[in-house]
Chains A and B, each alone.
Chain A
């Protein structure tokens, strides 16, 4: 169903359940179609660049030099009319541009001023990310209804009380979205993943400071493309049912289940952040419904896409009970594919953890399974990185040997890469 707002939703599922079965799975592809969404008046947009200016950025100095170039480039790319700021973070946080600490409106003059300041970044002091998040939150909070994006770059681990860090993430949740980048090998993937998972962003590694410029540029391009703010998935499920999970499965895996906000007894909303006028995301929903009799048909979930107060598209997930095994045992290709992609991400993360703990047997099993799943699903990007960590004997059976020595950067790249999925070739819904 395509709506005036330019969103459409397609449901892929096997609706047939065996007598007594309760678990309903479906993949919902949500697509924002270019023209319509872009043609509508775009909401205000605010973009924050948060750059680590701790002492370690000077060591080696290639990091701070790359950061200067990249941040300057990003400032120069700020689209006319957007609100922006450049924040420097160490154990304390400073709004470097504009010096007033309030957001600047992008134009020829402000872009040049900001770029000039970015070109003078220097490092010193420690790392207290909670203060960075708090400052960003304070600046972006007034932008009710706008698109609020932050890009956070760091090179080291957070040197503060874990609770402090968690609480800052909680405070920022729902206020703005945040991508995070770690440069080099001295930061923790799990730490930045906590930020991006809560703040609807993505974590990636910048292995070489020389790649920083391209990465900032790519972020700015994505930010410019975002035209619809605050899109939510609203999901209704029948009385007596249990929502097992609501998971974004493409382009990356992100479990939305813990982000549920109850609308009423049977309905919850899940945030998905801002959308570009032309993007497509897939969601896997799994609901346990009270079983019906053979021949009964129930609505297992109504999945609506909400923009502001409006439902702009919806998909119906159905359950039809049958005593025909040929129908109920069929597995929908989309559901199978994304179940595999989720298992792939989990196998990689568990395999890397086991390796870290010296449990090579478990690491071999998990990473072997990951190789098998990546091969089956044609996830070549993940396979390429897996091969840096294991020697593959047989992709089909998942027979691998964990490499004795692995570059830490490669291991981190595999970790950040683990949640990236590929889409399956479409069949008719």
Chain B
């Protein structure tokens, strides 16, 4: 099996690219905005490159973009042409200030929608319908013969630059896990990355850059999960009942587990989704991810997602219903993303789907 990485449809910028993805102008590494058109730049090289690098057929896993590779010698005046208008297809030269010069449609930011897939594994992240940016991030390693590693981080929207925190954390965790480190080490690296985003104190109405954390490692028929915050993992078996594999660090979850409120009452509260643990500079050093192990009894789909999905599918059975149907991992991940958007798309939504064959099949294939 040689799993090809297929990021689509938003073309993922090449790691270390020096051209603005919106207008094609030359940019300086580390810039957050394009000087020419003001478009957001994929500062942390987005999820796709990390995943693309990791999903390559290279037998030695390359978990993160390799900075030591000689930098391509782009000539500033030979900036590659950008994509055509995402709405009317007008030529890229028509796009100015990120708007199409024919139909006027604002062009999507690189992170607005990213898809990555290879055989049996897919990830989709989407801005949703309401938010102006996608502050979710994922990182993925799916290389033949090696454990599948997936990380989902959800930027906390009441903080400064949550999108930087989430992408940095996801990439850092992936690097540790792909290198053989454990989930606690991955959490520590993700926490360090979220802290490293900035040391400039945030304005009074915002918090330090923060995000949630969910990492999964699938080795044969064994799933290891580490979770902090409110990203969730679900098991959707081909036969039998769907299961929620994670526990939220949220106000509602605390009320329910302490017996103070019924689940129905807790989730009706406006505080329900307030998270009680996160990554970032103001995270408590004592917070550790909840670790769990799961061995499916048969074939099915493992889902890792941000709350942009489960806001609309609180129960595992709801997720299973929304995912139900034919299709490969990418089609299922898209179906769940579309479901969240059709329900209102109130938040960024990220969905990772990993197909699992169950214990018997694994023996046959090995």
Contact = CB atoms under 8 A, between A and B. Distances in A.
Contact of B97 (A292, A295, A316): A316
A218 interface: no
A295 B101 contact: no
Interface residues of B, number: 14
A320 B101 CA distance: 17
A292 B105 contact: yes
Contacts of A295: 129-130, 345
Given A295-B130, A295-B345, A238 B106 contact: no
A239 B103 contact: yes
Interface stretch (A81-89, A190-198, A296-304, A382-390): A296-304
The secondary-structure label for the interface of chain A is loop
Contacts of B130: 295
Contacts of B100: 238, 299
A236 interface: yes
B104 A238 contact: yes
B104 A300 contact: yes
Interface in B84-112: 88, 96-97, 99-106
Contacts of B102: 238-239, 266
A106 to B, nearest CB: 44
Interface string B115-147: 000000000000001100000000000000000
Contact of A298 (B106, B129, B345): B106
B133 to A, nearest CB: 12
B104 A299 contact: yes
A316 B37 CA distance: 13
B134 to A, nearest CB: 13
Q: Name the residue among B96, B97, B100, B101 with the largest chain A CB count within 10 angstroms.
A: B101
A296 B129 CA distance: 9
B336 to A, nearest CB: 18
A402 interface: no
A289 interface: yes
A290 B88 CA distance: 13
A266 B96 CA distance: 15
Contacts of B97: 299, 302, 316
Q: Which of B99, B100, B105 has the most CB of A within 10 A?
A: B99
Contacts of A240: 103
Interface string A285-325: 00001101011111110100000000000001001000000
Contact of A238 (B103, B129, B345): B103
A25 to B, nearest CB: 16
B129 A294 contact: yes
Contacts of A266: 101-102
A240 B97 CA distance: 20
A240 B99 CA distance: 16
Interface string B56-91: 000000000000000000000000000000001000
Contact of B105 (A236, A237, A294, A296): A296
A368 B252 CA distance: 59
Contacts of A241: 104
Nearest to A319: B104
A298 B101 contact: no
B354 to A, nearest CB: 29
Contacts of B129: 294-295
Interface in B161-209: none
A299 B100 CA distance: 8
A289 B103 CA distance: 9
B28 to A, nearest CB: 22
B103 A236 contact: no
Interface string A226-239: 00000000001111
A240 B102 CA distance: 9
Contacts of A289: 104
B345 A297 contact: no
Nearest to A289: B104
A289 B106 CA distance: 14
Contacts of A298: 99, 103-106
B106 A299 contact: yes
Interface in A318-340: 319
Contact of B106 (A237, A290, A294, A297): A297
A299 B38 CA distance: 15
A255 B102 CA distance: 26
Nearest to A294: B129
Contacts of A299: 97, 99-100, 104-106
A290 B105 CA distance: 11
Nearest to A236: B101
A291 to B, nearest CB: 12
28 contacts: A237-B104, A238-B100, A238-B103, A238-B104, A239-B88, A239-B102, A239-B104, A241-B104, A266-B102, A289-B104, A294-B129, A295-B129, A296-B105, A297-B105, A297-B106, A298-B99, A298-B103, A298-B106, A299-B97, A299-B105, A299-B106, A300-B104, A302-B96, A302-B97, A302-B99, A316-B97, A316-B99, A319-B104
Which 3 pairs, one residue from A and one from B, show the smallest C-beta to C-beta distance? A238-B104, A299-B99, A297-B106
Interface of A: 236-241, 266, 289-290, 292, 294-300, 302, 316, 319
Given A238-B103, A289-B104, A299-B99, 13 more contacts: A238-B100, A239-B104, A266-B101, A266-B102, A292-B105, A295-B129, A298-B99, A298-B103, A298-B105, A299-B97, A302-B97, A316-B97, A319-B104
